[in-house]
Amino acid sequence: MAEILLEGLSKRFGTEEVLAPLDLTIAEGSFVVVVGPSGCGKTTLLRLIAGLEEVSSGRVLIDGRDVTHTAAAARGLAMVFQSHALYPHMNVRENIGFPLKMAGRPAPEIAARVQAVASQLGLGDCLARKPCQLSGGERQRVAIGRALVRAPAAFLLDEPLSSLDAELRARMRLELARLHRALRTTMLLVTHDQIEAMTLAEQIVVLNAGRVEQTGAPLALYHAPCNRFVAGFLGSPTMNFIEGPEAERQGAHALGIRPEHLRVTRAQGLWPGRVDVIEALGAESFLHLSSGQGRLVARLDGSADLRPGETVWLTPAPAHLHRFDAAGRALPQRPG
């Protein structure tokens, strides 16, 4: 367990700045998720911390120890790769035991710890198998097991779930959350999937084009995004943005309203809109509408008694209306 401190950390490839100087504290035992679109520099950030990439400027401290120029092998961190990166010539037992072997642990200890980790991850039956004989989920668990086995100072997870199918991903997400609760080891996960970020993180770092847009607890970010990028990136379906006279009337360049904060009524409301598509998921429904404010999405509980082509009225909940200036910065909430 460790605290990771980044001080003015940056990375340039040639003249291209992949990561602007960044300060970040990853508290001991916390689960931090770095989220952002692909190419935003999040994987680079992870690799800088891991020591797989050389730092252009700044420092990395683990528990106060400066490891900026320490080799990856000596940083005491464990990493789970997007491709799992299992050793194809070793069986599961050897894969999981490899870090211990490298640490020079005695064979009986290795065997015992591999056994413990394997049963913890439900891998007890496939210890003798080679990676090519495993399913995607099993490979994922082996990769985690390999990280787990030597009780690292912190886990670094690089898009660990992106190679899995939707169902498996949801399950593994849960397992990761459980694991963190059980271990209370510092975890830093990088993903482009905002659902992973929302469900797993204690702390989210939103990264865009090499810059940190906002840091904070998931719901804090969800409810009070500091700019239009964060507002749009978190939440699914994404926030509705309205520009033009309606926004100007409210003293903003753009308005933002999440689908669940748009009230839909048959009779009366603020803006009229025509139903284009209805996505009925049972517990909730999403209405895709055309209106004078552009295309909008609204969320309804349960199933809606509406048909495509029908005209309805839409009313935003004032308390949840976000206002943004021309630069995309969030404006303070209007009183009342």
Partner 1 sequence: MSSLSPLLRKAALTLLGWSVGLTLAFPILWTALVSFRSEADALGAPAAVLAAPFTLESYAAITAGTRFTAPFVNSVLIAGGATALALLVALPAAWALALFPGPRTKALLMTILGTRMMPAVGVLVPVYLLFRDLGLLDSRAGLIVVVMLTNLPVAIWMLYGHLREIPGEIFEAARMDGAGPGAELRHVIAPLAAPGIAATALLCLILGWNEAFWTLNLSAAKAAPLSAFIAAQASPEGLFHARLCAAAMLASLPVLGLGWIGQRALVRGLTFGAVK
- 200 near 176, Cβ under 8 Å? yes
Q: How far is the CB of 22 from partner 1 (least distance, A)?
A: 22
State the residue for tokens 């209106």.
291
The 56-85 contact track toward partner 1, x by CB under 8 A, reads: ---------------xxxx--xxx-xxx-x
Q: How far is the CB of 96 from partner 1 (least distance, A)?
A: 10
d(CA 242, CA 294): 7
Q: How far is the CB of 99 from partner 1 (least distance, A)?
A: 4
Q: How far is the CB of 193 from partner 1 (least distance, A)?
A: 20
SS3 209: coil
Contact between 98 and partner 1 by CB under 8 A: the answer reads yes
Q: How far is the CB of 150 from partner 1 (least distance, A)?
A: 8
d(CA 9, CA 286): 42
Mapping DSSP onto H, E and C, the string for 255-295 reads EEECHHHEEEECCCCCEEEEEEEEEECCCEEEEEEEECCEE
**Consecutive H or E run containing 275:** strand 271-280
Q: How far is the CB of 117 from partner 1 (least distance, A)?
A: 14
Q: Which is nearer to partner 1, 64 or 88 (CB)?
A: 88
Using the 8-state DSSP alphabet, how is residue 227 labeled? B
Q: How far is CA 76 from CA 8, 49, 62, 103, 285, in A?
A: 22, 11, 9, 10, 47
d(CA 51, CA 49): 5
Q: Which is nearer to partner 1, 102 or 116 (CB)?
A: 102
Q: Which is nearer to partner 1, 31 or 98 (CB)?
A: 98
Site for partner 1 in 142-161 (CB under 8 A): 146, 150
The 105-134 contact track toward partner 1, x by CB under 8 A, reads: --------------------------xx--
Q: Which is nearer to partner 1, 81 or 313 (CB)?
A: 81
Q: Which is nearer to partner 1, 51 or 256 (CB)?
A: 51
How many residues make up the chain in this entry?
336
Q: Which is nearer to partner 1, 186 or 293 (CB)?
A: 186
Which of residues 2, 30, 91, 99 is near partner 1 by CB under 8 A?
Answer: 99
Contact stretch for partner 1 (CB under 8 A) within 46-54, 188-196, 255-263, 283-291: 46-54
Task: Determine the residue type at 17.
Answer: E
Which of residues 15, 16, 38, 89 is near partner 1 by CB under 8 A?
Answer: 89
Using the 8-state DSSP alphabet, how is residue 332 labeled? P
Contact between 336 and partner 1 by CB under 8 A: the answer reads no
Q: Please give the full DSSP string across 141-162, using - where no structure is assigned.
A: HHHHHHHHTT--SEEEEESTTT
Instruction: State whether the Cα torsion 202-208-209-213 is positive or negative.
Output: negative
Q: How far is the CB of 80 from partner 1 (least distance, A)?
A: 9
Q: How far is the CB of 221 from partner 1 (least distance, A)?
A: 30
State the residue for tokens 């204690």.
202
Q: Residue 88 CA to chain centroid, in angstroms?
A: 29
- 8 near 60, Cβ under 8 Å? no
- The first and second tokens of residue 244, run together, are 């033009």
Interface ranges with partner 1 (CB under 8 A): 50-52, 71-74, 77-79, 81-83, 85-89, 98-99, 101-103, 131-132, 146, 150
